[in-house]
Structure 1
Amino acid sequence: MKILLFKYTTLGYKDLYQSLVGMGHEVVYVEYVPKSYEEDPYMEDLLMGRLSAESFDAVISFNYFQVISKVCFCYRISYIAWVWDSPLLTLYSPTIYNDTNYIFIFDKILYRSFKKQGINTVFHLPLAVNHKRLEQMKIDDWDLEKYTADISFVGRLYMKKISYDSMATLPDYCKGYIEAIMQAQTKIHGYNFLEEVLTEEVMKGICSRTEFYLGEKFTGSLRKVIADMFLGTKVTQLERTETLRNLAFHHVINLYTDESIDILPEVNHMGGVDYYDEMPKVFRLSKINLNITHRTIQSGIPLRIFDIMGAGGFVLTNYQPEISELFSEGEELVVYYDTEDLLRKVEYYLIHEEERRKIAEAGCNKVRTFHNYEVRLNQMLQIVQERQQAGEGDVNQ
């Protein structure tokens, strides 16, 4: 196949390009940072120029772009959107119905919410890693000195100003109610209830203090936007900081983030790490790698888990409903269910080195064999082919 790869950020695109080429596809990429997700005339002209000048079988991108969908629909070319973010606001658009779309979502609850609306252009598919790149990783003495650790966490704490912080002037009742439900949510894993418990009174209070502009063609729920983007991110901030603080009372924690953070003096602030070269070494050389899933991911397995396991690291993660569908708990990774359980399992696996090593090795083998880019891309392309053969989403007509 001849594929046009739309590149808008560096994360993951090198892996995607190398994997597609390694599978025998011809890949041409176009690079552009969108000015708007709804309407971007320059982006439209750029894509139309490439599709007019050359013949392509498909266009592929990470996440979903309404402009790409619109252009591909006009040219009757398959658009493969591999969604890494959950939720992704650009999905809430009339363009999602375009029958040339093949949108792959890793969160099953989010996927089902679209299917219930009769949207047949979405498919559920877990994320993956580039196993060939990870298999080539080399560890030297300098790496051992720099990255060896008991416990590491790689990720944001969202301490810079986030949307929730703009609601400081909320009425006392609304603010108290919101803070109570957020605290309750931090205690519950595997079920996100924030959207369900937002009352009309609280919604009105929030909307009276915050301006929302989601675009003229936005088809999603304002309630969901508030629950996910405003409250969900705040819950993630609270949960991650409190989890790291509790662990730091008993253990040495290395925190890797590119944020400037003036809290958590109890942990070692290690700065950011490069996704391709440094992050896999952190995962390989840490005895325990924590995953604390962002609360906007409802049931799916975040990329961080695949990254850790694919690098040969031991992962200790919060509970996510889809974990048991792909992995054997206690054999390929370890799940914690609350703070006390986390503390117990950290203590146990720090001293049971052989058991920890076997779990990391089994998890690494599982991910590199069954959850790599080539496997996922073949699954996507097979779905495209089967749907076209069935007369759905016919292209090049």
Structure 2
Amino acid sequence: MADLNQYMNKAFDYEEKGYVEEAIHLCSKCIQAFPEYKREIELEIAKINYRNGKERKALLQFLMLLDDTGDETISNLIIEAYYGAREQEFQKRYRENYKLLEEYSYFYGELHPLELRYYPIWTGENEIWYYDSAERIFQVIERYGFIMGELEDTIYLGSDLLWMEDLLILEKKTRMKEPFMDMENPLLLLYQKSHWELLCQTIDLKELMKFDRIIFHDDISRLERSLLTDGICFPVMVIGNRADTILQELGRLNNKMRQEYENYQTIIKEYYLQNRDTVVKNIKNGNPRILFITSRFTTALQYHVRDCKIAAERMGLETELQIEKDRLCTGQHNLSIFRQIAKFRPDLIFSIDHFRHEREWKDCLEGIVWVCWAQDAMPEIYSKETPAKLTDRDFLMTHYITSKKFKDIGYDAKCVIDAPIPANPYVYQPYQLNDAEKKKYSCDICFVCHSSNVESYIDKVAEKFPEQLQEKIRAIYRGYYDYVCETGELFYTEQEFELFIKGAFSYHYNMALTAEALDYFVEDMWRYFNDRVYRQMLVQWMLDAGFTNIKLWGNGWAMEEKYKEYAMGPAQNGETLSKIYQASKIVIGNNIMTTAAARAWETMLSGGFYMSNYIPEENDDVDIRKILEVDKDVIMFYNREDLIQKLHYYLEHEEERQKMIERGRKAALEKMTYDILMKRVLKEIGERLEEN
């Protein structure tokens, strides 16, 4: 034994001097010379490796000795050396992560941290060793080697992924490439208990939470709540450990969703078959239950639905709203809608731009009354086949009260209700502006719309086509723009644009467009380009006339040098926009399709002076002249000279301007609020159901 100690001390001397390999070699010789002390010497070799940075090698040696001897002191040594040295760090991160999870919207699991059972021992590039304190054993997790396939930009579920590098790659690869608004693919992460505890001890979850789309599940049982209850989209791909088990669970949940959907379908169909008369009675008596359906992936539409709902509630009606829970619930799945209908049992469903027959479950809702409010030029709204699909319980509110194109579709007058978009007087109202707001918002002339950079738009259109056509397309678009700037005259119909485009290609380039290409250019120039030309022309008219106290609100104006000094950036809808209207002396109408845009009513209700642009009556989709009396309730300008003359007049005659503000606000309050609209629409529906 004395000889062994002498050799071992010499080995430790080698180690102290930095000769680690020599020290280990000497220890190995000692095993040969003193085989009866093999395990004790192997333990010292493991310690030397540990002390000199070879932690993985040492760990494997410790574990081999533990396996051979079952010696509890070795187990304690490993825990103390590998976990004890970082225990406070691990536990601190665990607590901090749980504090973050308590406030995080996408965590499905136990909100309060439990006493730790699993201790991270060693983490390497491809494996993690941990200690299970309940079973008193050491375990290893091997890194899952995944390769992203072609299915990127889609919904993945990652199981038991513990390496931050893998998680960040997965996050990057699964993002939406062209997201609409704030829509995004959810990334689902699922963990079993051991892996979840290790994740929370070894990774700062804040780095993953910042993406605001990663959904954590601390157990497979949590999937049901996120997918079936909250409507998170089902994953398309599963990667990681336990894929077979997870796919089996997803299959079970999909079957459960389908079964629950079928059960609700039966319940709903039976209810409305038995209560057809009750539905009509409730509406005629003025106390229907109304379900409002909308989507958070709209701009103005969800707010129009909100305002209609609030107006109905002010009438004392029961209402509910069907809308995606958040940006990761891309699309309302049928179960969510059916669950709500079965429980709420509405008499009337209210939707913007969508009919009953567009829903796959239309047949089980025959007894309900469906109201579609047409606000956009959706294909189904403008299809001549649609009128035949409507029942006597389908009603169409239309924003397009004077549109010839809409009238030509052929809807039965019994189902159509005029409903130009109003404004909310509880939001758009006169406010008490402070000095800072007055300074920021006040101006002579206010213009609210996004920038209409004609040249950049022309380039974007041209670049969609082969290079040999691009300059021809640019020339035709610029030709129309130059014509408008020189004459002040615009085309208002698709027919005018069709003649212009066909003639330009034929006369200048001896080209005949295909029907498909012609339709594309006509639609683009009439619906999109014309609007940009008109708005840029209006601003240029005012600047050329010497008006400089102008504020241009909307995106993009600052990017154009000639408008940069007038650009104010986007205006937030609601109270901020109302204050902008109120602080401006004149707000200019600039919608080329309609004179009765919502901006008109928002301005008037805010206590602002609105000057409407002119559109020929036969081309005005929503004619303000059918709602208000021009020159009494609203001022309209007809051309460049008239605009400039009226701007000068009302900027110089404050008393007249104030009188028009008062008359306009009074008229808007009497005719164009959501309260007025909902009362009238529900009354008309009740009367028409009585006739039926």
Alignment TM class, shorter chain as reference: 0.7 to 0.9
1:361 aligns with 2:648: no
1:104 aligns with 2:404: no
Secondary structure in 2 aligned to 1:12? helix
| Residue pairs, 1:300-339, within 5 angstroms | 301-320=596-615, 321=617, 322-339=623-640
Whole-Å Cα distance in 2 between the matches of residues 54 and 325 of structure 1? 38
Q: How many Å apart are 1:188 and its aligned residue?
A: 4.2
Task: Give the counterpart letter for 1:326 in structure 2.
Answer: I
Tell me, yes or no, if the aligned pair for 2:493 and 2:526 is still in contact at 8 Å.
Answer: no
Q: How many Å apart are 1:359 and its aligned residue?
A: 0.3
Tell me, yes or no, if the aligned pair for 2:448 and 2:552 is still in contact at 8 Å.
Answer: yes
Task: Give the counterpart letter for 1:153 in structure 2.
Answer: F
Tell me the equivalent position of 1:8. Answer: 295
1:260-289 deviation per Cα after TM superposition (whole angstroms, max 9, x unaligned): 641133651111122111011111110010
Tell me the equivalent position of 1:281. Answer: 579
Q: How many Å apart are 1:205 and its aligned residue?
A: 3.1
Whole-Å Cα distance in 1 between the matches of residues 674 and 522 of structure 2? 32
The verdict on how the C-alpha distance between 1:312 and 1:30 changes in structure 2, with shifts beyond 3 A counting, is same
Task: Give the counterpart letter for 2:340 in structure 1.
Answer: R
Tell me, yes or no, if the aligned pair for 1:281 and 1:311 is still in contact at 8 Å.
Answer: yes
Secondary structure in 2 aligned to 1:273? coil
Q: How many Å apart are 1:314 and its aligned residue?
A: 0.4
Tell me, yes or no, if the aligned pair for 2:374 and 2:381 is still in contact at 8 Å.
Answer: no
1:254 aligns with 2:551: yes
| Residue pairs, 1:82-101, within 5 angstroms | 82-85=373-376, 87-93=377-383, 94=385, 97-99=389-391, 100-101=393-394
- The answer to which of 132-141 and 50-59 deviates more is 132-141
1:59 aligns with 2:349: yes
| Residue pairs, 1:38-49, within 5 angstroms | 42-49=332-339
1:332-352 deviation per Cα after TM superposition (whole angstroms, max 9, x unaligned): 221111112111111111111
Whole-Å Cα distance in 1 between the matches of residues 379 and 644 of structure 2? 36
Whole-Å Cα distance in 1 between the matches of residues 584 and 342 of structure 2? 50
Secondary structure in 1 aligned to 2:559? coil
Secondary structure in 2 aligned to 1:265? helix
Secondary structure in 2 aligned to 1:153? strand
1:157 aligns with 2:451: yes
Tell me the equivalent position of 1:379. Answer: 680
Secondary structure in 2 aligned to 1:21? helix
Q: How many Å apart are 1:50 and its aligned residue?
A: 2.1
1:17 aligns with 2:314: no
- Structure having greater relative contact order (Cα 8 Å, sep ≥ 6): 1
Tell me the equivalent position of 1:141. Answer: 435
Task: Give the counterpart letter for 2:399 in structure 1.
Answer: F
Structure of higher CA gyration radius:
2
- The answer to which of 336-345 and 89-98 deviates more is 89-98
Whole-Å Cα distance in 1 between the matches of residues 568 and 664 of structure 2? 26
Secondary structure in 2 aligned to 1:348? helix
Tell me the equivalent position of 1:79. Answer: 370
1:195 aligns with 2:486: no
1:96-118 deviation per Cα after TM superposition (whole angstroms, max 9, x unaligned): 532243222222343x5344343
**Where does the alignment leave 5 or more consecutive residues of structure 1 unmatched?**
210-221, 392-397
Whole-Å Cα distance in 1 between the matches of residues 558 and 353 of structure 2? 29
The verdict on how the C-alpha distance between 1:34 and 1:44 changes in structure 2, with shifts beyond 3 A counting, is farther
Tell me, yes or no, if the aligned pair for 2:497 and 2:525 is still in contact at 8 Å.
Answer: no
Tell me, yes or no, if the aligned pair for 2:585 and 2:609 is still in contact at 8 Å.
Answer: yes
Whole-Å Cα distance in 2 between the matches of residues 109 and 133 of structure 1? 28
Aligned CA-pair RMSD: 3.4
The verdict on how the C-alpha distance between 1:151 and 1:135 changes in structure 2, with shifts beyond 3 A counting, is closer
- The answer to which of 175-184 and 341-350 deviates more is 175-184
Whole-Å Cα distance in 2 between the matches of residues 132 and 68 of structure 1? 34
Q: How many Å apart are 1:234 and its aligned residue?
A: 0.8
Secondary structure in 2 aligned to 1:258? coil
The verdict on how the C-alpha distance between 1:162 and 1:386 changes in structure 2, with shifts beyond 3 A counting, is farther
Q: How many Å apart are 1:382 and its aligned residue?
A: 2.1
Tell me the equivalent position of 1:118. Answer: 410
| Residue pairs, 1:26-41, within 5 angstroms | 26-32=318-324
Whole-Å Cα distance in 1 between the matches of residues 470 and 580 of structure 2? 44
Q: How many Å apart are 1:3 and its aligned residue?
A: 0.9
Whole-Å Cα distance in 2 between the matches of residues 208 and 107 of structure 1? 27
Number of positions where the alignment pairs a residue of Structure 1 with one of Structure 2 = 368
Task: Give the counterpart letter for 1:253 in structure 2.
Answer: I
The verdict on how the C-alpha distance between 1:31 and 1:270 changes in structure 2, with shifts beyond 3 A counting, is same
Whole-Å Cα distance in 2 between the matches of residues 128 and 118 of structure 1? 25
The verdict on how the C-alpha distance between 1:239 and 1:368 changes in structure 2, with shifts beyond 3 A counting, is same
Tell me, yes or no, if the aligned pair for 2:400 and 2:406 is still in contact at 8 Å.
Answer: no
- The answer to which of 139-148 and 305-314 deviates more is 139-148
Tell me, yes or no, if the aligned pair for 1:60 and 1:81 is still in contact at 8 Å.
Answer: yes
TM-score, structure 1 as length reference: 0.80
Q: How many Å apart are 1:179 and its aligned residue?
A: 4.8
Whole-Å Cα distance in 1 between the matches of residues 417 and 521 of structure 2? 25
Q: How many Å apart are 1:313 and its aligned residue?
A: 0.7
| Residue pairs, 1:148-297, within 5 angstroms | 148-159=442-453, 165-168=460-463, 169=465, 170=469, 176=475, 179-181=478-480, 187-188=488-489, 192-199=492-499, 201=502, 205=513, 223=519, 226-249=521-544, 250-251=546-547, 252-259=549-556, 261-263=558-560, 264-265=562-563, 267-293=565-591, 295=592, 297=593
Tell me, yes or no, if the aligned pair for 1:156 and 1:258 is still in contact at 8 Å.
Answer: yes
The verdict on how the C-alpha distance between 1:137 and 1:44 changes in structure 2, with shifts beyond 3 A counting, is farther
Whole-Å Cα distance in 1 between the matches of residues 417 and 363 of structure 2? 18
TM-score, structure 2 as length reference: 0.48
Secondary structure in 2 aligned to 1:327? coil
The verdict on how the C-alpha distance between 1:389 and 1:34 changes in structure 2, with shifts beyond 3 A counting, is farther
1:182-223 deviation per Cα after TM superposition (whole angstroms, max 9, x unaligned): 66578447x7223344149569637676xxxxxxxxxxxx94
Secondary structure in 1 aligned to 2:645? helix
Secondary structure in 2 aligned to 1:337? coil
Tell me, yes or no, if the aligned pair for 2:349 and 2:371 is still in contact at 8 Å.
Answer: yes
